[in-house]
């Protein structure tokens, strides 16, 4: 790290010497860039004197007061030329205490934009009149609801920027007005999918009981704010939080936008033989857990070895845990991780990731059964260093004779055809052990993991020979419940993370529908029925997402999906 500080000044002759003295007490070497807008009180000359006294202070003399944003941008350009990283901005009036610098720099290793926040986890403002506090708080709430961003303090100028973030910007196009500048930088950070975090600090202001920004600047900010607004539907959804705990939205958004960095910086080796950690996610799976584990024990492997099988039992109240204990006594690779409370599959996966030691992680639901060669086919693609994740080929055991059975088999058939050209993972997945955590609020865990690897430059591979048998719903009620949940989960992922899975693109799916169409009267009628159900599910998913703030990361179990055919081979014959 080679940090630097930018201090924009205008008439700060009384405060600047004290501020510099404190900074030098904390760090006597950190470069300080003072950008002075031709202060009438001689602040620029005082800054030059302070450089002669302390050293490593760079003074920029500007001819006129254009705006604090323009002054900071000028400082950014100088700081980037000096290869400073990260770059701290703070006011010169002592309202931003330098004693927070070490805390900010500590967090700056993991984030591209840190915001010193006056409003996160309570009110931290000293020296303001109540009216000013109220107006500032309401203004920040208004910006939050217009932009739909999980930020408590949009206008704070106490910040830390990474050079990586700033080098991606057209600095000359950034608005110079103070509030607008601060809001614009947050907008750009989220647009570029930078890592953003708020850090609480105490703002002290005894010199300026009213805003230092002119009424004109505040009016310009208000008028131009609407160009940053989110789509109307997202604003409507965000308004549902008015009657709720807003912290949930902040935590949910932060998890999706700021996932932990990849382990070891995303670097890995290619061993002659991969070690594999299998995670089996279970909730009341006494009917199938034994078959699932036996299938994993009997895998035929060449390119890898199964090092451990970790069963995460989330709030199970049946004999699931007892059965897993019995398997552990015979096979020490099988271990049980108990979650006393059911918190959703994503939470269970995060428990598994805490303990997984293999080169490759595999996630399988306990209500599925893997083909004897499934693990081998899932792992082989990882000898290509470009591959970060692979997906198996799910085959349902449902009979194709009933309407719901037709729907289940047709959906997985379409998934298979699409995945051959546009890989999409589901039911059983494998990925390099580079992820320490996935978003705990996601209802579509495979898609969330897929998004993480794609964002980090990896490719996704579909393994059509890695067959895993599953059971789809058998009743219309269960089928609708499942399709609504999946549609809602994908909508949540798309809106919050900007990632859209291939099967959520209706026009693309239609091509495969026509390709695999059976033009018999029964086939046409059943296919039209399936299309109506899917359209209805996606429509209800959109309504639930935007108007009811639903997010089924802990979903209701469909009982009819829990009984696989006893003779899987027969059940999957065409």
Q: Give 233-242 pLDDT, tens digit per residue.
A: 778 777 776 6
Strand, coil or helix: what is 366? Answer: coil
Q: How confident is the model at residue 574, as a pLDDT?
A: 39
Same domain, 382 and 516: yes
**Closest residue by Cα to residue 369 from 568, 561, 558, 570:** 568
Same domain, 175 and 305: no
- Contact, 46 vs 19, CB < 8 A? no
Q: How confident is the model at residue 245, as a pLDDT?
A: 61
- Contact, 412 vs 473, CB < 8 A? no
Instruction: Break the chain down into helix, strand, coil percent, rounded to 5.
Output: 45, 15, 35
pLDDT above 60: residue 376:
yes
Task: Mark which of 208, 230, 252 sits at the end of a domain.
Answer: 230
Please indicate, yes or no, if residue 54 is contained in any of the structural domains.
yes
> 7-11, 437-441, 561-565 — which is least confidently predicted?
561-565
In which residue are the tokens 């670097």 written? Answer: 267
- Residue 379: other Cβ atoms inside 10 A: 27
Same domain, 270 and 211: no
Q: How confident is the model at residue 562, as a pLDDT?
A: 57
Please indicate, yes or no, if residue 244 is contained in any of the structural domains.
no
Query: Which of the 8 DSSP states describes residue 15?
Result: T
Q: How confident is the model at residue 229, as a pLDDT?
A: 83
Same domain, 333 and 478: yes
| Total count of residues recorded for the chain | 574
Please indicate, yes or no, if residue 149 is contained in any of the structural domains.
yes
Same domain, 387 and 431: yes
pLDDT above 90: residue 336:
yes
Please indicate, yes or no, if residue 239 is contained in any of the structural domains.
no
pLDDT band at 357 (very low <50, low <70, confident <90, very high): very high
Look over the chain and give the mean of its residue pLDDT values, rounded to a whole number: 85
pLDDT above 80: residue 83:
yes
**Closest residue by Cα to residue 54 from 8, 87, 94, 5:** 5
Tokens of 353: 């990731």
Same domain, 268 and 226: no
Same domain, 453 and 511: yes
pLDDT above 80: residue 442:
no
Q: Give 250-298 pLDDT, tens digit per residue.
A: 777 777 666 778 998 899 999 999 999 999 999 999 989 999 999 999 9
Per-residue pLDDT, averaged over 505-510, amounts to 67
Strand, coil or helix: what is 157? Answer: coil
Task: Considering only residues 163 and 558, tell me which one the structure prediction assigns the higher pLDDT.
Answer: 163
Task: Considering only residues 289 and 507, tell me which one the structure prediction assigns the higher pLDDT.
Answer: 289
Q: How confident is the model at residue 235, as a pLDDT?
A: 80
Task: Considering only residues 123 and 555, tell me which one the structure prediction assigns the higher pLDDT.
Answer: 123
Tokens of 87: 């770059």
Q: How confident is the model at residue 395, as a pLDDT?
A: 93
In which residue are the tokens 């382990």 written? Answer: 263
Q: Give 413-432 pLDDT, tens digit per residue.
A: 888 888 888 887 878 999 99
Task: Considering only residues 92 and 541, tell me which one the structure prediction assigns the higher pLDDT.
Answer: 92
Same domain, 290 and 404: yes
- Contact, 48 vs 22, CB < 8 A? no
Please indicate, yes or no, if residue 112 is contained in any of the structural domains.
yes
Q: What is the reported pTM?
A: 0.70
Q: How confident is the model at residue 551, as a pLDDT?
A: 56
- Contact, 32 vs 20, CB < 8 A? yes
Q: How confident is the model at residue 378, as a pLDDT?
A: 95
Please indicate, yes or no, if residue 276 is contained in any of the structural domains.
yes
Q: How confident is the model at residue 568, as a pLDDT?
A: 56
Omega of the bond leading into 86 within 30 degrees of 0 (cis): yes
Q: How confident is the model at residue 535, as a pLDDT?
A: 87
Task: Considering only residues 153 and 130, tell me which one the structure prediction assigns the higher pLDDT.
Answer: 153
Burial 416-445 (b: 16+ CB within 10 A, else e): bbbbeeebbbbbbbbbbbbbeebbbbbbbb
Question: Phi first, then psi: what are they for 558, rounded to 5°?
Answer: -95, 110
Task: Considering only residues 572 and 137, tell me which one the structure prediction assigns the higher pLDDT.
Answer: 137
pLDDT above 70: residue 360:
yes
Rounded (5°) CA angle 142-148-152: 60
Q: How confident is the model at residue 496, as a pLDDT?
A: 61
How do strand 159-161 and strand 87-89 relate by DSSP bridges?
Answer: antiparallel
Determine what percent of the chain is predicted with pLDDT higher than 90. Answer: 47
Task: Mark which of 179, 210, 230 sits at the end of a domain.
Answer: 230
Q: Give 126-148 pLDDT, tens digit per residue.
A: 877 888 888 888 888 888 888 88
Estimate to the nearest angstrom the gap between the alpha carbon of 514 and the chain centroid: 35
Q: Give 458-501 pLDDT, tens digit per residue.
A: 999 999 999 999 888 888 888 888 888 777 776 766 666 666 66
Same domain, 278 and 398: yes
Please indicate, yes or no, if residue 81 is contained in any of the structural domains.
yes
Per-residue pLDDT, averaged over 102-114, amounts to 92
Per-residue pLDDT, averaged over 54-61, amounts to 93
Question: Domain residues for 299?
Answer: 263-571
How do strand 369-370 and strand 459-470 relate by DSSP bridges?
Answer: antiparallel
**Closest residue by Cα to residue 176 from 35, 41, 47:** 35
Q: How confident is the model at residue 216, as a pLDDT?
A: 66
Same domain, 301 and 192: no
Q: Which long-range contacts (CB under 8 A, 24 or more apart) does 39-46 make?
A: 39/9, 39/10, 39/11, 39/12, 39/13, 40/11, 41/11, 41/12, 41/13, 42/13, 43/9, 43/10, 43/11, 43/12, 43/13, 43/16, 43/92, 44/9, 46/13, 46/16, 46/17
CA 315, 319, 321, 324 dihedral sign is: negative
Q: Give 382-412 pLDDT, tens digit per residue.
A: 999 999 999 999 999 888 889 999 988 888 8
Tokens of 444: 């579509």
Estimate to the nearest angstrom the gap between the alpha carbon of 43 and the chain centroid: 44
Same domain, 170 and 316: no
Number of structural domains, the chain?
A: 2
CATH of the domain at 99: 3.90.550.10
Per mean pLDDT, which of 188-197, 510-519, 556-565 is the most reliable? 188-197
Burial category of 209 from C-beta neighbours within 10 Å (exposed 0-12, middle 13-18, buried 19 and up):
exposed
Same domain, 548 and 497: yes
Q: How confident is the model at residue 373, as a pLDDT?
A: 96
Tokens of 446: 């495979």
Please indicate, yes or no, if residue 157 is contained in any of the structural domains.
yes
Tokens of 484: 């609504």
> 186-200, 243-257, 340-354, 449-463 — which is least confidently predicted?
243-257
Task: Mark which of 230, 250, 282 sits at the end of a domain.
Answer: 230
Per mean pLDDT, which of 207-216, 412-421, 479-488, 512-521 is the most reliable? 412-421
pLDDT above 90: residue 166:
yes
């Amino acid at each position: 790290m080679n940090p630097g500080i930018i201090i924009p000044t205008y008439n700060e002759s009384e405060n600047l010497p004290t501020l510099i003295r404190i900074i030098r007490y904390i760090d006597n070497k950190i470069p300080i860039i003072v950008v002075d807008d031709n202060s009438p009180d001689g602040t620029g000359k005082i800054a030059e004197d302070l450089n002669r006294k302390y050293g490593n202070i760079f003074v920029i003399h500007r001819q006129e007061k254009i705006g604090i944003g323009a002054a900071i941008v000028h400082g950014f350009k100088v700081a980037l030329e000096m290869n400073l990283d990260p770059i701290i901005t703070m006011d010169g009036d002592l309202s931003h205490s330098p004693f927070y610098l070490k805390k900010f720099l500590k967090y700056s290793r993991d984030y591209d934009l840190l915001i010193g926040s006056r409003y996160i986890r309570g009110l931290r403002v000293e020296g303001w009149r109540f009216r000013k506090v109220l107006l500032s708080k309401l203004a920040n709430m208004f910006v939050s609801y217009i932009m739909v961003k999980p930020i408590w303090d949009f206008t704070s100028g106490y910040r830390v920027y990474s050079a990586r973030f700033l080098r991606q910007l057209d600095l000359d196009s950034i608005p110079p007005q103070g509030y607008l500048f601060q809001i614009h930088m947050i907008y750009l950070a989220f647009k570029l999918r930078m890592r953003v975090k708020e850090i609480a600090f105490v703002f002290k202001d005894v010199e300026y009981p009213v805003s230092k920004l002119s009424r004109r600047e505040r009016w310009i900010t208000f008028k131009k704010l609407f160009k940053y607004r989110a789509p109307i539907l997202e604003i409507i959804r965000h308004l549902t939080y008015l009657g709720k705990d807003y912290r949930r939205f902040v935590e949910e958004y932060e998890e999706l936008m700021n996932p932990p960095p990849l382990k070891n910086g995303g670097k890995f080796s290619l061993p002659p033989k991969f070690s594999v950690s299998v995670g089996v996610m279970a909730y009341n799976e006494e009917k199938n857990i034994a078959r699932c584990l036996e299938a994993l024990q009997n895998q035929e492997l060449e390119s890898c070895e199964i090092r451990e099988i970790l069963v995460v039992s989330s709030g199970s109240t049946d004999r699931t845990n007892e059965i897993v204990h019995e398997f552990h006594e015979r096979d020490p690779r099988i271990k049980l991780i108990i979650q006393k409370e059911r918190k959703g599959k994503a939470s269970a996966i995060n428990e598994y990731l805490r303990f997984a030691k293999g080169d490759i992680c595999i996630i399988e639901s306990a209500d599925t059964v893997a083909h004897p060669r499934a693990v081998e086919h899932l792992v082989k693609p990882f000898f290509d260093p470009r591959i970060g994740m692979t997906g198996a080929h799910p085959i349902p055991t449902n009979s194709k004779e009933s309407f719901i059975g037709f729907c289940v088999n047709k959906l997985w058939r379409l998934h298979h055809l699409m995945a051959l050209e546009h890989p999409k993972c589901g039911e059983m997945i494998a990925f390099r052990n580079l992820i320490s955590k996935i978003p705990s609020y996601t209802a579509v865990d495979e898609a969330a993991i897929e998004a993480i690897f794609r964002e980090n430059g990896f490719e996704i591979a579909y393994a059509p020979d890695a067959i895993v048998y599953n059971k789809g719903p058998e009743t219309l009620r269960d089928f609708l419940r499942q399709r609504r949940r999946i549609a809602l989960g994908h909508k949540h992922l798309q809106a919050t993370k900007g990632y859209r899975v291939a099967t959520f693109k209706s026009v693309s799916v239609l091509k495969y529908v026509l390709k695999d169409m059976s033009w018999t009267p029964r086939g046409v009628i059943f296919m039209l029925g399936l299309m109506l159900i899917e359209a209805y599910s996606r429509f209800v998913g959109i309504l639930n997402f935007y108007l009811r703030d639903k997010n089924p990361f802990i979903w209701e179990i469909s009982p009819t999906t829990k009984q696989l055919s006893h003779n899987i081979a027969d059940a999957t014959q065409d």
